[in-house]
Structure 1
Amino acid sequence: MFILSLVCFIVPVHSSQLPNATIMDLSYKNMDFAMNLYRKIANYHDKNIFYSPLSVSTSFAALLMATDDVTHKEILQVCNLEQLDVDDQPQLIPRLFQDLQDNISHNGSLQVEQSMALFIRQNFEVEKTFEDDLKIFFQADINVLDFGNPKETIKSINDYVRQKTADKVPEMISTLNAMTQLLLVNTIFFQGAWETPFNPDFTHNAPFHIDNYNIVQVPMMFVEDRFYTMEDEPLGARVLKLPYKDGVSMLILLPNKKTDYTTIDNEITARRFLSWIRNLEEMKLEVNMPKFKMERAYSLHNILPEMGMTSLFTDGANLARLSKAGGLRVSEVLHKAVIEVDEVGTTAAAATATGIVPYSLPKRFIINRPFFFFIYHEETNALLFMGRVIDPTKN
Structure 2
Amino acid sequence: MVFNGIKMLVVFALTCICFIVPVHQSLLPNATILDLSYKNMDFAMNLYRKIANYHDKNIIFSPLSVSTSFAALLMASDGITHQEILKVCNLEQFEMVDQPQLIPRLFQDLQENISRNGSLQLEQSMALFIRQRFEVERTFQDNLKNFFQADINVLDFGNTKDSIKTINDYVRQKTADKVPEMISTLNAMTKLLLINTIFFQGVWQIPFNPNFTENATFHIDNYNTVQVPMMFVEDKFYMVEDEPLGARVLKLPYKEGVSMLILLPNENADYNKIADEINATMFLNWTSNLEKRKLEVRMPRFHMEQDYLLHNILPDMGLTSLFTNLANLTKLSKDEDLMVSEVLHKAVIEVDEVGTTAAAATAVEVTRYSSMSFIINRPFFFFIYHEETEALLFVGRVIDPSRN
Which of residues 43, 61, 64 in structure 2 aligns to 1:54? Answer: 64
Q: Shift in Å at residue 153 of structure 1?
A: 1.3
Q: Aligned residue for 1:351?
A: none
Structure 2 residue 373 is matched with structure 1 residue 364: yes
Give the distance between the partners of 2:247 and 2:228, measured in 1 at CA: 22
Q: Aligned residue for 2:164?
A: 154
Q: Aligned residue for 2:204?
A: 194
Give the distance between the partners of 1:98 and 1:283, measured in 2 at CA: 37
Structure 2 residue 243 is matched with structure 1 residue 244: no
Q: Aligned residue for 1:104?
A: 114
Q: Read off the aligned partner of 1:182 and give its amino acid letter.
A: L
Q: Read off the aligned partner of 1:168 and give its amino acid letter.
A: K
Q: Aligned residue for 1:173?
A: 183
Structure 2 residue 353 is matched with structure 1 residue 343: yes
Task: Judge which range, 371-380 or 149-158, deviates more.
Answer: 149-158
Q: Aligned residue for 1:92?
A: 102
How do 1:174-323 residues align onto structure 2 when only pairs under 5 Å count? 174-323=184-333
* Residue pair 1:312, 1:329 contacting (<8 A) in 2 also: yes
Give the distance between the partners of 1:176 and 1:312, measured in 2 at CA: 20
Q: Shift in Å at residue 170 of structure 1?
A: 1.2
Q: Shift in Å at residue 8 of structure 1?
A: 2.2
Paired residues, what number?
374
Deviating beyond 3 angstroms after TM superposition, the runs of 4 or more aligned structure 1 residues are none
Q: Shift in Å at residue 330 of structure 1?
A: 1.1
Q: Read off the aligned partner of 2:239 and give its amino acid letter.
A: T
* Residue pair 1:289, 1:368 contacting (<8 A) in 2 also: yes
* Residue pair 1:47, 1:391 contacting (<8 A) in 2 also: yes
Give the distance between the partners of 2:320 and 2:166, measured in 1 at CA: 30
Give the distance between the partners of 2:107 and 2:36, measured in 1 at CA: 8
Q: Shift in Å at residue 167 of structure 1?
A: 1.1
Give the distance between the partners of 1:304 and 1:42, measured in 2 at CA: 13
Give the distance between the partners of 1:339 and 1:75, measured in 2 at CA: 28
Q: Shift in Å at residue 109 of structure 1?
A: 0.5
Q: Read off the aligned partner of 2:386 and give its amino acid letter.
A: H
* Residue pair 1:293, 1:340 contacting (<8 A) in 2 also: yes
* Residue pair 1:16, 1:87 contacting (<8 A) in 2 also: no
Structure 2 residue 144 is matched with structure 1 residue 134: yes
The 3-state SS of whatever aligns with 1:332 is: strand
What's the TM-score once normalised by structure 2's chain length?
0.91
Give the distance between the partners of 2:202 and 2:89, measured in 1 at CA: 27
* Residue pair 1:375, 1:383 contacting (<8 A) in 2 also: yes
Q: Read off the aligned partner of 1:388 and give its amino acid letter.
A: R
Q: Shift in Å at residue 16 of structure 1?
A: 6.8
The 3-state SS of whatever aligns with 1:263 is: helix
Structure 2 residue 386 is matched with structure 1 residue 386: no
Q: Aligned residue for 2:27?
A: 17
The 3-state SS of whatever aligns with 2:229 is: strand
Give the distance between the partners of 1:313 and 1:155, measured in 2 at CA: 27
Give the distance between the partners of 1:330 and 1:153, measured in 2 at CA: 20
What's the TM-score once normalised by structure 1's chain length?
0.93
The 3-state SS of whatever aligns with 1:330 is: strand
> Deviation per CA, 1:138-173, whole angstroms, max 9, x where unpaired?
000111111122211111110100110111111111
The 3-state SS of whatever aligns with 1:28 is: helix
Q: Shift in Å at residue 262 of structure 1?
A: 1.2
Which of residues 326, 337, 344 in structure 1 aligns to 2:336? Answer: 326
Q: Read off the aligned partner of 1:28 and give its amino acid letter.
A: Y
Give the distance between the partners of 1:120 and 1:153, measured in 2 at CA: 10
Q: Shift in Å at residue 287 of structure 1?
A: 0.1
Q: Aligned residue for 2:89?
A: 79
The 3-state SS of whatever aligns with 1:241 is: strand
Tell me the C-alpha RMSD between the 2 structures. Answer: 1.4
Q: Read off the aligned partner of 2:189 and give its amino acid letter.
A: M
* Residue pair 1:16, 1:85 contacting (<8 A) in 2 also: no
The 3-state SS of whatever aligns with 1:271 is: helix
Q: Read off the aligned partner of 1:390 and give its amino acid letter.
A: I
The 3-state SS of whatever aligns with 2:99 is: coil
* Residue pair 1:30, 1:80 contacting (<8 A) in 2 also: yes
Q: Read off the aligned partner of 1:292 and give its amino acid letter.
A: F
The 3-state SS of whatever aligns with 1:147 is: coil
Give the distance between the partners of 2:307 and 2:32, measured in 1 at CA: 31
The 3-state SS of whatever aligns with 1:296 is: strand
Q: Read off the aligned partner of 1:275 and give its amino acid letter.
A: N
> Deviation per CA, 1:288-318, whole angstroms, max 9, x where unpaired?
0000000010011110011010111112211
Give the distance between the partners of 1:147 and 1:16, measured in 2 at CA: 45
* Residue pair 1:16, 1:84 contacting (<8 A) in 2 also: no
The share of aligned pairs that are identical, in percent, is: 78
The 3-state SS of whatever aligns with 2:203 is: coil
Distance 1:272 1:129, change over 3 A: same
Q: Shift in Å at residue 226 of structure 1?
A: 0.2
Give the distance between the partners of 1:211 and 1:29, measured in 2 at CA: 32
How do 1:30-49 residues align onto structure 2 when only pairs under 5 Å count? 30-49=40-59
The 3-state SS of whatever aligns with 2:251 is: strand
Q: Aligned residue for 2:124?
A: 114
Distance 1:287 1:314, change over 3 A: same
Q: Aligned residue for 1:353?
A: none
